[in-house]
Amino acid sequence: KNQVEQSPQSLIILEGKNCTLQCNYTVSPFSNLRWYKQDTGRGPVSLTIMTFSENTKSNGRYTATLDADTKQSSLHITASQLSDSASYICVVSGGSTLGRLYFGRGTQLTVWP
């Protein structure tokens, strides 16, 4: 069964600290993996996309990694800011239906001052 699991479900950190969010998937065949950020009361916005051949990609203070062998991805946030408080959603494209998307349930990150 094609699934996307995210951990932890929620996370609280202090401003300035680093954190890492995890995404494990069983989707096969795999096409790509995208991380979205969803601020409270807003729609999700894409942060970064990882394709099969990519191991690491950075977008400012956000760094995503992908291990296609173990089917794991992580999103590392460096020097967290209050504005990083949001839900982070992992979405995997793949499976037997072209373009099918599989959503994780998200990790709710809260950054405290």
Interacting residues with another protein (CB under 8 A): 9, 31-32, 34, 36, 41-46, 49, 51, 89, 91, 93, 99, 101, 103-106
CB of residue 28 vs another protein: minimum separation in angstroms?
A: 17
Q: Give the sign of the dihedral formed by CA 90, CA 92, CA 63, CA 43.
A: negative
Encoded tokens for 30: 């795999």
Q: Which is nearer to another protein, 4 or 111 (CB)?
A: 4
| Min CB(104)–another protein separation in Å | 6
**Nearest CA-CA partner of 50 in 78, 30, 22:** 30
At closest approach, how far in Å is the CB of 85 from another protein?
17
- Give the count of beta carbons closer than 10 Å to the beta carbon of residue 18: 12
